Amino acid sequence: MNFNNASEDLTLLTPETALQALKDGNERFVNNLKLNRNLLQQLNEASEKKLPFAVILSCIDSRASAELIFDQGFGDLVSIRVAGNIINEDILGSMEFACKIGGAKIIVVLGHTRCGAIKGACDDVKLGNLTSLIAKIKPAVASIRDPATNRNSKNPEFTEKVAEANVRQVIASIRHRSEILRDMVEHNEITVVGGMYDIQTGSIEFYEN
């Protein structure tokens, strides 16, 4: 589905059509076919009432702006950005608010290729407060058994495996740690999916299982 303003059609959206709207938006982005939006008008409308249809948990990488890579406008997305797209109780609370109160239909945990935070976790970087953030990614590093050697940022195949594992573990953590979101998933009120954004091509591979 294509929405000139997804929030206008929020009541018609299901988790499945919300996912399709994001896929369609990314396809437009990759093909440089952005929808023609009156952004100032959207901003004015969103100032009165915002009805985001999707929550995107993504990395702080400057090349990974959710509104751009999904070709969405003002008020369409709740964009949560943190290095390594990790999860904590504050982010979980934000997701619960966006879905239970705000009406969002989908949560996307979006990793990206060549992620600096993932590389830092692979290299066991320690740097101030970043140390505790990277510690949240370390379980994903440990979950990748192969290769047994060259398990560092100089091995791109290894780091990309860790990036995917991190996305999947964050999804599992969302479902495990939030009773509210888990209940909404079980009642098909929302869906939680993962994806990997390729910073070279702009395309997103979704993990739907």
Strands 54-58 and 106-112: parallel
Q: Is residue 187 part of an annotated ligand binding site?
A: no
Instruction: State the sign of the Cα–Cα–Cα–Cα dihedral 30, 37, 65, 97.
Output: negative
Instruction: State the sign of the Cα–Cα–Cα–Cα dihedral 100, 101, 103, 105.
Output: negative
Q: Is residue 176 part of an annotated ligand binding site?
A: no
Residue in 65, 90, 88, 85 with CA at minimum distance from that of residue 164: 85
Residue 159 token pair: 């780091």
Q: Is residue 71 part of an annotated ligand binding site?
A: no
Largest CA distance in the chain: 55
CA distances from 148 to 38, 124, 152, 155, 164 (A): 53, 16, 11, 12, 18
> Distance (Å, rounded) from C-alpha 192 to C-alpha 202?
21
Q: Which residues are annotated as a binding site?
A: 59, 61, 112, 115
Which residues make up each annotated binding site for Zn(2+)?
59, 61, 112, 115
